[in-house]
Amino acid sequence: MRTFATFLAAATLFLSGAFGVGRSAEPSPDQEPADMQPVEDRINVHMSYLFKPSYRRLKPLMRSAPTDAATWNKMRSEALLLAESGSNLTQYHSSNEFNPDAKKNWPRNSADVKKHAAALYNAAKKQDFADAKRSYTSMTKSCNACHKSEVSLGSPPMLTPFGKGITDN
């Protein structure tokens, strides 16, 4: 991959030299342009402004099989948001110093949220409610697995996938 990137960089350099195209300030493939930095890197803000509202919108949709396309689409939309946000969590790490396993658990639980949310997304796309419900339940377990690991940090809540919950009904 790196070799290919180097080849591309060399080819771009050659072509821009030869034909006068390309921008001289082009960042190298290893450099992240400043505007690609995360907008917000505090996990509690991700949880309160992305995960929590999305889960709250999703939860009532999971009570019974949707009867129209609009509801399936809403389910898809929340699942995709949680899958991509779960994937994003893998770039961070636990700052819980009290649980020796927390740092080790963080990437696994983030990746599991992504995996099950992606399965939910695909089930909603196929309009398969049994599959969607299974994936939603597994995703919630993975959310809670991280919350359990992080419990001394701001006491993250235990989410209830069905029925009344403290924070998410």
Contact positions toward ligand HEC, by CB under 6 A?
43-44, 47-48, 51-52, 55, 82, 89, 106, 109-110, 113, 139, 143, 146-147, 150, 153-154, 156-157, 159, 167
Least CB distance from residue 71 to ligand HEC, whole Å? 19
Least CB distance from residue 168 to ligand HEC, whole Å? 6
Among 96, 79, 81, 105, which residue's Cα sits nearest to residue 43? 96
State both tokens at 145.
Answer: 């697995």
Q: Which residue is nearest to ligand HEC (CB)?
A: 154
Q: Does an H or E element contain 92, and which?
A: none
Which C-beta is closer to ligand HEC: that of 72 or that of 118?
118
Query: Residue type at 111?
Result: A
Helices (H) and strands (E) in the chain, counts: 6, 0
Which C-beta is closer to ligand HEC: that of 72 or that of 149?
149
Which C-beta is closer to ligand HEC: that of 59 or that of 72?
59
Taking the C-alpha atoms of residue 85 and residue 46, their distance in angstroms, rounded to an integer, is 8
Which C-beta is closer to ligand HEC: that of 51 or that of 72?
51
The answer to whether 106 touches 93, Cβ cutoff 8 Å, is yes
